[in-house]
Structure 1
Amino acid sequence: MAENTDMNGKPINRAAMMALLMIGSFIIIIMQTSLGTALPTLMTAFNVDTATVQWLTTIFLMVNGIMVPVSAFLTTRIPTKYLYLSALVVYTIGTAVAYVTPTNAFWLLMVARALQAIAAGIVMPLMQVVALTLFDAKSRGKALGMVGLVIGMAPAIGPTLTGWILDSKHDVLGMTVGGDWRSIFGMVLPLAVIVLVLSIVYFRNVLETRKVSLDIRSLIESTVGFGLVLFGSAMVSNYSWTNFTWVLAPMIVGVLVIAEFVRHQLHMEKPFLDVSVFKNKQFALTSALVALTFIAMIGVEMVLPIYMQQVRGLSALNSGLTLLPGALMIGVMSPIAGYFYDLYGAKRLAAFGFAMILLGTIPFQFLTETTPTIYITALYMVRMMGVGITMMPLTSSAMGALHLNQTAQGTAVNNTARQIAASLGTAILASVMQSQINNNLPSDSLKTADPIAYGSKALQASLDGFHASFLLAACFALLAFALSFLMHKGKVEPKPAAGKEN
């Protein structure tokens, strides 16, 4: 493909394509975390308990994680424009269904969430592959820096936006929105339709496609394997890591199925998911560091709002606003990190970014019930600056370590590892927190004998749980900081599409 032309040699508008891709991907990916602060509201509206309502988040993570491996096949088989339009159509249908779901049909809202997750599983890898294709090697860091605005900021802003929507009614462009859970979906629905219409006009086919057959065995193994692992990790919040039926059994079976899936892929002439890219040590290392970045980001994003609402008594909106400056720092730092990656490569940026994440996480172990929110905001900003500095340079370095004809498969593998790591990391941090709280809770007899003492000790037990979770998050950051020194110096240039890197 010549620069500024599509696969048919027709001129393309790179700026319009990237803008539509980023906006469309943003409104899709933001749904990954948007319902977090709305769960209590949805429990009341649908008359369901905590364990049931959490499936709205669980189903999204599971379907998204299952779809990511499939994305490599879809990107190879379906022209770029039609694949992106299909994702937008599926998302629009899912969002519309969620908006009109009656409160006596909770199952229908779960179906809507699954449709949204299918779209997210397609656009996340597609956005990276298209960005790598539209821009040459010299501008690759800047391009993926823009992608980082979406992948980093959308999940970070989701809880704040939902808190703002639920807090009260607002006037937006002459329309009254907010005040109820339906507005979470109603606000993004018109945007999805607008992006869909404009994409019909401006989007072009920029990725090479070829006729490849879908290996049903691989599809089943990847769906069952990754699905069971993600299911088991999601159920930790309802049970514990020692529960065999709902946690250990699904994860053990899932790992065994994944092992068979990997073995099968390595013996296929045209694999469904080219796991052989992990034979490239630089790709394997940087993919692991990307996964650790997401554990550091998503895990603390989950724990910190719980602390602010349960211990500090903040509302969903105020807890979201406390984290908003940190979320915005990803947007500020991602393009800057992309610029410096083009000049110096990823190693220095990764080491510096993980050092910031570590320094921003350690003080969280000393939070109390009276810690000023401005202090929490400042620490969170430091952490998210580190995430913004780290994320896209690592992704660029991982893709640069591969041959050009491995980009789609490498992106799918990278995203699969990241999605599973984020899910497992969140489960680990949550389980450590809950386990510590349960172990330190005072006996129920004290509640009757001395309610004040019981309340004080229960509060301390909660703080102990949060401190343990933050300590573990700091350990993940420390591990990533140490591993970053094993990376290559300088910028890693992509290799010609002549063969596979072993």
Structure 2
Amino acid sequence: MSVSAGTPAKAPLGDDKLDAGVLKVAGVVVIGAIMSILDVTVVSVALPTFQNEFQATPATVAWTMTAYTLALAAVIPVTGWAADRFGTKRLYLTSLALFVAGSVLCSMAWDIGPLIAFRALQGIGGGMLMPLGMTIMTRAAGPQRIGRVMAVLGIPMLLGPIGGPILGGWLIESASWHWIFLINLPIGIVAFILSSIVLPKDNPQPGETFDFLGLLLLSPGLALFLYGVSSIPEAGTVGDPKVLVPAAIGLVLMIAFVGHALRKDHPLIDLRLFKNRNLTVAVITMSLFIVAFMGSMLLLPSYFLQVRGVSTLETGLLIAPQGLGAMVTMPVAGRLTDKMGPGRFVLGGIVLISLGIANLTQVTDDTPYVQLLGGLFVMGLGMGMTMMPIMSAALATLTDHAIARGSTLMNIVQQAGGSIGTAVMSVVLTNEVKDRPAASALYAVAQGKATPEQVGPVLLQQGPSALADAFGSTYMVALVLVLACIIPALFLPRKKIQRTPEQEAEAAVPVAMH
């Protein structure tokens, strides 16, 4: 099969450097991914503004986040098939257009209901950007350079949590809430134009029929399950019908999809990929890691805002050392993973993250900032050695055709794990606060449920210390979950991943991007 016009041929198998063509592709993909990931954290700081603007309750306003993530989760399973059917470039450009259109409509929202609906449209576009980006970059670079490619794609994952709160706080304070959405318009136009020029020409191969039954089972199943899980913090217990009913229905639908997928020749998500040992171990490791790490990261902004009383902008700046640490190790780990395998780096990264979280288990209301920021930097070093090498292990031995399905699977794992981790840590923190009267009193005053006179000066004075103690105890749970990641990580390859002769033969043949 000849290379399509404009398609960069894969590098010789002995060449592990990222050439100019691959770097151009990586650059345009990263722009789209940054826009999508930034949008999650940018909007998170605007929730109080939405409450005041639309006279809505906190529970209603939270749907501006939930609608985005549920739409994102629902559309991810379709991405692998759609990439094969329509071509990655066309689908990527369509996703960018949907995301930007949703952003513009969000900026024009006149009430909380339309804003929630427009956020769902954003999620449909945003949900496909990351798995498509992974597929495009992996195919462009070839299997021998997948570690370096994953390191490049890790940039938006770092910039989102760091830059989102800073950018969101600045835009709201200096302009208006509309600009947290309108800023996507110029960025999206640039990303669309560059993608049209730089991304390789499509050569779709629509050989597989669409799995409609799989779609009807998996997409609503995943969305319902995540909706139930994300309702846990508000409900306060897993046994609440608002949690249990949608989560149980979603789980039943997903189990039914498993049975369906194992019987069908071309399912929506090919579960036969789990016959690949590296992918299976990587999925297990990633699942535990995302639950532990993403859940614990939710706590940090709340600690700075509620215990230390700093502004949203200052909170974003205080979290920055974590991203700086990851920027130090991620390029090195990406380069060496291709040569030495991911196992050593992932284990080392988990140890560093554990040290950083162990530091956070000791937080008080006056812990020196040097200690906090140093711990975050160490956590960042660990993160740079962990997430992308795990992704590399999952995708390195997949055939070219399976890459789209593999990257879709890994994105589903990330989305589900992040939602579960957020819910778990929120519930643990809520229960820890309830166990401390002074912390509960401080929360009640902050939320307007009680006046300072009603709770008394003694409890108010003890509140910050008690609340900090609740955060420290919650971080103990996060520490245990991170340490549990060591078990599956021990089974990751600790030497250069070797492909089978069949996989090497396919990698050596120039193929068209599709």
TM-score (norm 1): 0.90
**Counterparts of 2:192 and 2:47, CA distance in 1:** 29
Equivalent in the alignment of 1:470: 475
Quote how far apart the aligned CAs of 1:405 are: 2.8
Following superposition of structure 1 onto structure 2, how do residues 172-183 of structure 1 map, counting pairs within 5 Å? 179-183=175-179
**Counterparts of 1:153 and 1:165, CA distance in 2:** 17
**Counterparts of 2:33 and 2:454, CA distance in 1:** 55
Does the Cα contact within 8 Å between 1:149 and 1:330 map onto a contact in 2? no
Relative distance call for 1:4 and 1:152 in structure 2 (3 A) is farther
**Counterparts of 2:348 and 2:469, CA distance in 1:** 29
Question: Which residue of 347, 370, 392 corresponds with 2:366?
Answer: 370
Q: Choose 311-320 or 458-467, whichever is displaced more.
A: 458-467
Relative distance call for 1:138 and 1:215 in structure 2 (3 A) is closer
Does the Cα contact within 8 Å between 2:162 and 2:316 map onto a contact in 1? no
Q: In structure 2, the residue corresponding to 1:395 is in which secondary structure? A: helix
Does the Cα contact within 8 Å between 1:43 and 1:50 map onto a contact in 2? yes
Structure 1 unaligned regions, length at least 5: 170-178
Q: Choose 398-407 or 436-445, whichever is displaced more.
A: 436-445
Relative distance call for 1:344 and 1:133 in structure 2 (3 A) is same
Name the Cα RMSD after superposition: 2.6
Deviations 1:154-195 (A, max 9, x none): 24432222123234x3xxxxxxxxx32112122232111122
Deviations 1:106-128 (A, max 9, x none): 11211221122112211111111
1:453 aligned onto 2:458: yes
Does the Cα contact within 8 Å between 1:397 and 1:491 map onto a contact in 2? no
1:64 aligned onto 2:72: yes
Quote how far apart the aligned CAs of 1:498 are: 9.9
Relative distance call for 1:147 and 1:449 in structure 2 (3 A) is closer
Following superposition of structure 1 onto structure 2, how do residues 348-427 of structure 1 map, counting pairs within 5 Å? 348-427=344-423
Q: Choose 20-29 or 444-453, whichever is displaced more.
A: 444-453
Equivalent in the alignment of 1:184: 180
Q: In structure 1, the residue corresponding to 2:401 is in which secondary structure? A: helix
Deviations 1:262-297 (A, max 9, x none): 110000011111112223332111112223333344
Equivalent in the alignment of 1:175: none
1:324 aligned onto 2:320: yes
Quote how far apart the aligned CAs of 1:462 are: 2.2
1:75 aligned onto 2:83: yes
Larger relative contact order, structure 1 or 2 (CA cutoff 8 Å, min sep 6): 2
Quote how far apart the aligned CAs of 1:2 are: 6.4
Following superposition of structure 1 onto structure 2, how do residues 326-345 of structure 1 map, counting pairs within 5 Å? 326-345=322-341
Question: Which residue of 262, 267, 272 corresponds with 1:266?
Answer: 262
Which residue identity is paired with 1:475? Answer: V
**Counterparts of 1:206 and 1:449, CA distance in 2:** 66
Question: Which residue of 44, 68, 73 corresponds with 1:36?
Answer: 44
Relative distance call for 1:195 and 1:287 in structure 2 (3 A) is same
Following superposition of structure 1 onto structure 2, how do residues 50-61 of structure 1 map, counting pairs within 5 Å? 50-61=58-69
Does the Cα contact within 8 Å between 1:353 and 1:390 map onto a contact in 2? yes
Does the Cα contact within 8 Å between 1:447 and 1:454 map onto a contact in 2? no
Deviations 1:204-254 (A, max 9, x none): 235753243222211111122101110011111211223431112211221
Relative distance call for 1:449 and 1:428 in structure 2 (3 A) is closer
1:114 aligned onto 2:120: yes
Equivalent in the alignment of 1:87: 95
Quote how far apart the aligned CAs of 1:478 are: 0.4
Q: Choose 218-227 or 330-339, whichever is displaced more.
A: 330-339
Q: In structure 2, the residue corresponding to 1:35 is in which secondary structure? A: helix
Q: In structure 1, the residue corresponding to 2:42 is in which secondary structure? A: coil
Does the Cα contact within 8 Å between 2:22 and 2:137 map onto a contact in 1? no
Percent of aligned pairs with the same residue? 26
Question: Which residue of 213, 218, 228 corresponds with 1:217?
Answer: 213
TM-score (norm 2): 0.88
Does the Cα contact within 8 Å between 1:146 and 1:335 map onto a contact in 2? yes
Quote how far apart the aligned CAs of 1:8 are: 11
Deviations 1:429-468 (A, max 9, x none): 1110001111322597997687122224443442233122
1:289 aligned onto 2:285: yes
Q: In structure 2, the residue corresponding to 1:404 is in which secondary structure? A: coil
* Aligned pairs, number: 486
Q: Choose 124-133 or 351-360, whichever is displaced more.
A: 124-133
Q: In structure 2, the residue corresponding to 1:369 is in which secondary structure? A: coil
